Structure 1
Amino acid sequence: MRVLIQWLFSLSLLLPITAFSKVVILSNYPLQKNNLESTVNKENYQTIVEILRSLEEVKNVSVEEKDEQITIKVERYPIIKSIKIIGNMAILRDKILSYLTLYEGAPLKETDAKSLEDKLKELYRENGHLEAQAKVNIQIDELGFVSIEIEVREGDVFFIGGGVYKGSSLDPNFLDERLGIIKGRIAKEGELSRKVFDLQDIYLSLGFWDSFAYYEGLQKAKMERPFWRVLLPIDPNIKRRPLRLVGALAEGIKNLLSHPISTLKAISGKGKLAYPVFYVYEGTRYQVFFEGNSFFSPQELLKISGLPQKGIDIFSLEEAKKSILNAYRSKGFFDVEVEYKQEGERILFSIREGQRYNAILDDQILPYDEEKLKKKLEEMIEQLWAEGYILAKGEIKTNIDRDKKLVDVSFDINEGKKQILKTIKYVGNNKDIAKIFREVNEKLPAVYSSTLIEQLNLRIEKYLKGNGYMEGSFEAEAMVEEEEDVINYIYTYKVLEGPRYKAGLDLYYGAKVTRSRELSYMTVREEFYSEKTVDETLYNFISSNLFIGVKIDTFIDTDKKQVHRLIKLQEDKRGFYDLGVGYNSQEGLILDLNLGLKNLFGIGLSSILNYKRSEKRETYSLNFEDPFLFTRKLWFKSNVFKDYQEHRVYTLDTQGFALSLGYRITRYTSFGPFFSISDNRYLGTSARLNKYGLFLLREYKDDIFNPRRVHYNSLSFLKASGDLNYTKAELNTFYFIPITTNLNLSFKVSGGSAWGSVPIFDRYFLGGLTNLRGYSYEEVGSPTGGKSFVFGRMELEVPLKGSFVFVPFYDVGGVEGSSNRLPRDIKHSFGFGGGVKTPVGPIRLDLAFPGERDFLKKFKLYLSVGYIY
């Protein structure tokens, strides 16, 4: 009893510490909605501090421990709430904000209004408004939100009046033409200032090798008379007269449309001109002459000499002489002599070339050319490397016979032994890692390549880090087997996985409306961390269509062997609309309205209304859907609709209601019921139908964003009652799988049957883009459609250069009027397509032919985007 009392007394002393010690987060401005503040405790506060420091809007984080309380102090940047710009006529709002790097919702790290004003004036100077003024007003409220008001006084646009060249003896018009300074163009200060480098090159090309030039600035002036060149800024560098006039006229029209007031002022003589001013120190203008040369032209010799870049002095002239001698000797002129003399600015090189020597190589006699010999040696070495002699090296040996003017040439090549990467062994029991080694060994034996080893190392590292083995490492031992002409390398890898880190905290930051429970439904979480769950989580957030910005950062806790995730979110606008009015001869006047509401009640529920009204008909579709209906497992879609469809042999007016509810059995597989009520008008009759049934759907991608393997399988059973009674069952299977590194196979198999009084709009037809591409839309099965069908498609995707692919394909299928037997009249079509792979799927153009006589005359063309299931 006494021991118990002592234990209770000791516990009472500890209670104040454990009960009242806490961690709080204080910020100068309120942080965006998050669960960091509700999650932080004494055990994880250091991780929370690290995460807070990673936020772009956080300037500084400090920690203070006092009176058994841990206080995390956060200094947050102000957040831009609104930006108002007035006075901008010549430059669009988006371009201004992009240049200033200001965006609504972004942190404002630079609160100095003057620096923003200077930057904005710089933008306007780059667009010809040399006297533009800007006023920026920044207001920060008590919650840390920023309102920015930008007032711009653009002023007149300045037009180029021509260049000013101080210290130059050359004709200004000549320099204007060479520099591309066109009178009548808009004066863009930065572009004009960079002309100084071209000006320096012009002077060097003219022999002013001691010259230098610099840019002084723009000289502004008011026009004294009408300046018509703004309507026809002619570029004399365009030699062909029609093109020159058309280009000038197009630029003049652009001036008038983009800057009408400034252009009209210029025409009336009241506009503004700008003259770029350059200062030039010309120095001496040298002239270099060459005599006695026939193999090299004077221009080639001047370039070889390097004098324009080095200038003229005794050292540069000696270097030029040596360079010319070496150039001639490399071409077989071994008796060449070069002399020079200088008389003021005149330099004369006298060359006695002599006879060009021939080279004897492999019993062939050719003019000696050192450059060609080196290239031939390089090709021989590269061929040996390709054969496995990666240590091969060689040199050119020459023996000059000056009497016969011949050079005996031979290649001294040391091949060494072939270096072969024979096999790479893996010691361990991890099946996924073993698979990596199997794939690498499929390419072996091969010429030894360090690149292949580096790629393997990267794959191992990616696997370890991507599956939570944050402390994983590997060792590689190389064993050499030497044969007579071959050295075989055998690598043995030991992969040390270490502890597998578990999934830690899932923290959310920035979601203002979406509820935390809904966020957790979108988050894919397993016991252990993996990059795959990160990608799937990212995909869920993006595909929910609720967010315009999603970023997931990871933080490693080595003490607890955990990986924490911070999911930073930027919600999209909750409402949007689009209104369009058009006209065509078939429908007449058309009104098209789209209205959408997202994230209703913060649970991810979205609604989209599409309403279309023409002089002939009215259609609409009101959709409700939620990809995560109160749980990670459920999803639903519903639709109230009125629709019109045109088919090959009938038209269909339908209106009604449809609902489908799905339950995710696994991450990729769902099943559930669907139900619809519809009124249908077709072929002069009508039918009210109640449809209900079940579906089973599986859609798999091995990589969410860049899949190499895609599976799509669907099975559905439908029962219709009402004015007509019938039953339908359909199966659809699509696979896209890699066969080899450079070859992919895709195939589709589908079929279905219908029993009872099946209306034409629920019968089967084939033909068109999605099936039997060699036939027109719904051509197979016309005119009444069938009660059963089968279809198959096979394609080979052959990668070409870059993202381009070539795709030969073959389609086969048929439609049968009876539901009790398989189709007997089987059609087939074939063809090929070409396209490019993009993030949204392949963009393809297909050319298809029917399997009939004269098929070349019956081809079809199709343009498609994405995978066609």
Structure 2
Amino acid sequence: MSPLYRTSSRFMFRWLSLLLLTISFNLHAFATTIDVIETQGLRSMSYQAFLDRIQTQPGSNLNAETLSRDIRTLYQLEYFEDIKVYESQSPEGYTLTFEFTERPRVNSFSVEGNKRIRDEQIEGVHTISRNDIYSPELVARAKESIRQLYDTRGMQDVLITEEVTFREKSRTYDIVLHVDEGQRARIDNFIFDGGSYKRSEYYKYMENRERRWYSWITGRGNFSRVKAEYDTQRLHQFYLDRGYIDVHVSEPEYLLQESGNYIIRYEIEEGERYRIGSMNFRGYGEIATEEQIRNAMLLEEGGYFSSSDLHDSIVRITRLFADRGYANANVRPMDSVDREEHTVDFVFQVIPGEHFTIGMVDITGNNKTRDKVIRRQMRLLEGDEYSSSAVDESRRRLNNLRYFDELTIQERKTGEPGEMDIVVDVKEAPTGMFTLGIGYSTVDKVVGTTSLSQGNLMGRGQTLNFSLEKSSERMYYSLSFTEPFLFDRDINFTTSLYDQIREYSYYDDHRRGFSITLGRPLFDDVRGNIRYKYEEIDIKGVSDNASQTVKDMAGSSRTISITPSITRNTLDNRWVPTKGTRTNLYFEYAGGKLGGHNDFYKYGATHSIYHPLVAKLIGAVNVEARFVEGHSGQSEVPSYERLYMGGINSMRGYRFRDIGPKDPEDGGDSVGGYKSFLTNFELLYPLTADGNLRLVTFYDVGNVYDRGEDYLDSVLRSYGYGIRWLTPIGPLRLEYGRKVDREPGESRSRLDFTIGTMF
């Protein structure tokens, strides 16, 4: 049986065959009906998918032009080397048979010989997968991507060879890349010929660095041609950001040393430095004032020109208009360069575009979470004027819920003039967790934990949590419930029950009670809360060797308190913050007309700042001041209600509750103070893209003072480093602190470790 249509993968043969096919079918019967369509050799798609891609169908009339278009469509898929079409008569009727010769595919792909780079790192750069259509170009691209990966690690001599085996029966290829890693080269030095700036200034823009003694750990100083070529562009940007608009930076020159390492040389022609002459603005109409636009500018008349500041200024002006409903605002800078006076004049043409209001907020992907839980976090709703900042704030608030693995907020035009929809698309994350585990802390030693929590109860956004912790020195259980929007109003309600027994050196402290908290927003990012707490305290098991202070507080007592507080929170991430601030002011009043046995008041303030520094480094500062005093005739506050410090959550390098006034009769243990001060300085470096694993270095300053001591009269200091990891069962912290102000006989340092427990 000879084919009605046959083609090879060559272009000319293919289209010549289509022409012959057309002539052949024109000589065929005028209205032949196709009864059956069959396929042979079709593996890349199902029979139905094949029929969906062609117009020729069973029951239709045979048409040469239609069949020719179908063949072209199939070739455009790039799945096939050859296609033949046969006609035949069978008991079922007139039959067309498509015979396919598919392009070979990849059966397997592997890399061998890689020792310095892990398999998963190589898998992250190449693009070959099983069942990909094979081509020499596909293999070449994979080799080049792997070579560039080795280049970034300083291995310029890497040799990658391919071993390709063709399986005739399955028409597939097995591909093996053999890697000979060669020797690692490093950068000994840089030369910046013609550059007038310090090397440290250039390094703020460059990716390459010269080697150091610790390069074998960090990889600093690995020679990379790719990075060196990119650094040419970065150095050019460095000068543009300082006003050198005529700068020229040469391509890198690589000077090979006898050691096998390199010196990289850049030749720089700086040129003259330019200032901003005048800045004028057009097209803003009555939407904004010129003063508001100038305040958004990072460039100043008379100041040096900066390319980055120009870009950021345009973004800020655009955002100014986008926050007033002009979602498609555009700003076009027109410059005039005076090379004699070395100035640049700018005219910024503002094109506001159309003003938009919100038509509909469309929420998709939430199978469990109710729409209202998402909508109440939105800063934009139906009928509101569009605002770019409101979109960003909505995204931040929704992310902080931690209900979703993926979240996107997009604008969608409705077709109506001046109207757009906001589309919130989510992919829900598991919010329930049951945990059985064993943790450890230097305070409570080995800790057994059981917890059951649901962070999005029945999709309502409510939180229910039960936890039980047991260690050799502490037993604690709690049950809490939170409704973030009480009666569908922005009022948070939390109630909790708890019971805790903690063993100290000379006594046991047993506490149980409950608390109720109500809160509501006062201003943007500011919430006010008020908490009622009822607590029963039982000091028992007092040792005969305990001090008189400890013996005096033995027995049962009751504390009833009310604590109003104000919190301002602008952190970008509740769990792993990288920027923003959190401030808390509180005042706790206990006893008096509230009842109970303990009459005191506590007040204090905490302020934390997170700010991105260079590269991925994050700076953090926490400042805390606390005070406690008795009232209603109770001058002495019970020791268990006083202030303490020490441990992984305050002054690292010191034992838990080790800092404070000491009682000589109690073996020198702290009996608590009446005022305290603490400052923590931290540098955080994320090791993962999500920031859940971070290195930390710290410097702590603080102390606890008695009544007769002057506040801040003396401070204790410590420093150290550690690692933090947000795990599924809770936060892990391993931090080593070393004392600066060590008393005689005190330990010099302390290693604290916690995992899977809450403090």
CA contact (8 A) 1:547 1:569 kept: yes
Q: Separation in 2 of the partners of 1:619 and 1:656?
A: 12
Partner residue in 2 for 1:8: none
* Alpha-carbon distance in structure 2 between the residues aligned to 1:590 and 1:635: 32
Who is 1:814 aligned against? 704
Retained in 1: the 8 A contact 2:578–2:612? no
Residue deviations 1:644-700, cap 9 Å, x none? Answer: 335576542222222211122224222233122333233434434242313222232
Out of 434, 456, 470, which is 2:294 matched to? 434
- Indicate conservation of the 8 Å contact 1:536/1:704, yes or no: no
Q: Which amino acid aligns with 2:645?
A: L
Whole-Å separation in 1 of the counterparts to 2:493 and 2:316 = 39
Using the alignment, how far apart are the partners of 2:268 and 2:435 within structure 1? 73
**Residue matched to 2:346:** 491
Structural mapping, 1:816-831, within 5 Å: 816-817=706-707, 823=711, 826-831=714-719
TM-fit CA distance, 1:488: 2.1
Cα distance in 2 for partners of 1:683, 1:762 equals: 16
Look up the match of 2:681. 795
Q: Distance in 2 between matches of 1:556 and 1:629?
A: 34
The answer (yes or no) to whether the contact 1:677–1:688 under 8 Å persists in 2 is no
Aligned-residue RMSD, C-alpha: 5.8
Aligned: 1:751 with 2:606: no
- Residue 692 of structure 1 aligns with which residue? 561
Which residue in the other structure is 1:713 paired with? 584
Q: Which residue of 2 aligns with 1:33?
A: none
| Cα separation, 2, equivalents of 1:589 and 1:711 | 32
What is the alpha-carbon distance in structure 2 between the residues aligned to residue 414 and residue 768 of structure 1? 53
Q: Could you say which residue in structure 2 is the equivalent of 1:406?
A: none
Q: Which residue of 2 aligns with 1:502?
A: 357
Q: Identify if the C-alpha distance between structure 1 residues 691 and 503 changes in structure 2 by more than 3 Å, giving closer, same or farther.
A: farther
Paired with 2:323 and 2:339, the residues of 1 have a C-alpha distance of 38
Indicate how the Cα distance of structure 1 residues 771 and 703 shifts in structure 2: closer, same or farther if over 3 A, else same.
Answer: closer
Q: Which amino acid aligns with 2:587?
A: S
Equivalent in the alignment of 2:535: 678
Aligned residues with identical type, % of pairs: 16
Contact 2:510–2:539, Cα closer than 8 Å, also in 1: yes
Q: Alpha-carbon deviation of 1:842? A: 13
Instruction: Pick one of 642, 645, 648 that aligns with 1:763.
Output: 642
SS in 1 for 2:671: coil
Pairwise CA distance, 1:789: 0.8
Residue-by-residue CA offset, 1:751-795 (whole Å, 9 max, x unaligned): 211313533221111223343445433222243533511304263
Change (3 A) 1:766 1:216: closer
Residue 725 in structure 1 maps to residue 598 in structure 2: yes
Amino acid at match of 2:468: Y
Shift of residue 635 of structure 1? 0.5
Q: State the alpha-carbon separation in 1 of the partners of residues 353 and 745 from structure 2.
A: 63
Distance 1:674 1:800, change over 3 A: closer
Partner of 1:425: 279
> What residue number does 1:401 align with?
none
Classify the secondary structure of the residue corresponding to 1:522.
coil
Q: Name 1:641's counterpart in structure 2.
A: 498
> Which residue, out of 608, 611, 623, partners 2:468?
611
SS in 2 for 1:536: helix
Residue in structure 2 matching 1:668, options 512, 521, 525: 525
Question: What whole-Å deviation, never above 9, does each CA across 1:419-447 have from its counterpart, x for those lacking one?
Answer: 5243673646266643441x4449x844x
The one-character-per-residue Cα deviations of 1:782-821 (angstroms, maximum 9, x if unpaired) are 4353351130426375999999998664513332157xx7
Q: Following the alignment from structure 2 to structure 1, what is the Cα–Cα distance between the partners of residues 331 and 696? A: 40
Residue number in structure 2 paired with 1:478: 335
Q: For 1:421 and 1:843, how far apart are their aligned partners in 2?
A: 50
Give the Cα–Cα distance (whole angstroms) in 2 for the partners of residues 617 and 855 of structure 1. Answer: 28
Tell me the distance in 1 between the aligned counterparts of 2:433 and 2:696.
40
Name the CA distance, whole Å, in 1 between partners of 2:710 and 2:503: 28
Q: Which residue of 1 aligns with 2:657?
A: 778
> Which residue does the alignment assign to 2:484?
627
Measure the CA separation in 1 of the matches of 2:431 and 2:243.
63
Preserved contact between residue 425 and residue 492 of structure 1 (Cα < 8 Å): yes
Q: Which runs of 5+ in 1 are unaligned?
A: 1-121, 128-159, 161-187, 202-211, 221-274, 279-374, 396-412
TM-score when scaled to structure 2? 0.52
CA distance in 2: counterparts of 1:603 and 1:217, whole angstroms: 57
Cα 1:491–1:815 shift into 2, 3 Å = same
Whether contact under 8 Å (1:661, 1:673) holds in the other structure is yes
- Give the aligned residue type for 1:689: R
1:216 maps to 2:166:
yes
Deviates more, 1:599-608 or 1:738-747: 738-747
Q: Is the 8 A contact 1:765 1:778 kept in 2?
A: yes
Matched, 1:849 2:739: yes
Secondary structure at 1:524 match in 2: coil
The superposition leaves residues 705-764 of structure 1 with CA deviations (integer Å, 9 ceiling, x where unpaired) of: 865331312212231466622122211131427699899673514121131353322111
Aligned-partner residue type, residue 584 of structure 2: N
Distance 2:295 2:675 in 1: 41
Q: What is the deviation of 1:560?
A: 4.2
Q: Measure the CA separation in 2 of the matches of 1:382 and 1:715.
A: 52
User: Is contact 2:517-2:532 (8 Å) kept?
Assistant: yes
Structure 2 counterpart SS, 1:534:
helix
Q: Distance in 2 between matches of 1:390 and 1:836?
A: 44
Structure with greater proportional helix content:
1
Structure 1 residue matching 2:597: 3-state secondary structure: coil
Task: Give 1 or 2 for the bigger CA radius of gyration.
Answer: 1
What is the CA–CA distance in structure 2 between the aligned matches of 1:831 and 1:494, rounded to whole Å? 53
The residue matched to 2:274 in structure 1 has which SS? strand
Amino acid at match of 2:493: F
1:525 aligns with 2:380: yes
Q: Shift of the alpha carbon at 1:823?
A: 4.4
In structure 1, how many angstroms separate the alpha carbons of the residues matched to 2:130 and 2:619? Answer: 54
Kept in 2, the 8 Å contact 1:780–1:814? The answer is yes
8 Å CA contact 1:424–1:493 kept in 2: the answer is: no
Residues 85-100 of structure 1 aligned to structure 2 (within 5 Å): none
TM-score (norm 1): 0.46
Q: In the alignment, is the contact (CA less than 8 A) between 1:814 and 1:826 conserved in 2?
A: no
Verify the 8 A CA contact 1:218 1:276 in the aligned structure 2: no
Counterpart of 1:701 (choices 570, 581, 604) is 570
SS at match of 1:418: coil
Letter aligned with residue 418 of structure 1: E
Provide the residue aligned with 2:264 in structure 1.
none
Task: Please state whether the residue corresponding to 2:645 is helix, strand or coil.
Answer: coil
Q: Alpha-carbon deviation of 1:197?
A: 7.7
Give the Cα–Cα distance (whole angstroms) in 2 for the partners of residues 827 and 509 of structure 1: 55
User: What is the alpha-carbon distance in structure 2 between the residues aligned to residue 771 and residue 417 of structure 1?
Assistant: 53
- 8 Å CA contact 1:657–1:678 kept in 2: the answer is yes
Aligned residues of 2:642 and 2:672 also touching (Cα < 8 A): yes
Q: Counterpart of 1:453 in 2: which secondary structure?
A: helix
Q: How does 1:734-749 map to 2 (within 5 A)?
A: 734-736=607-609, 746-749=621-624
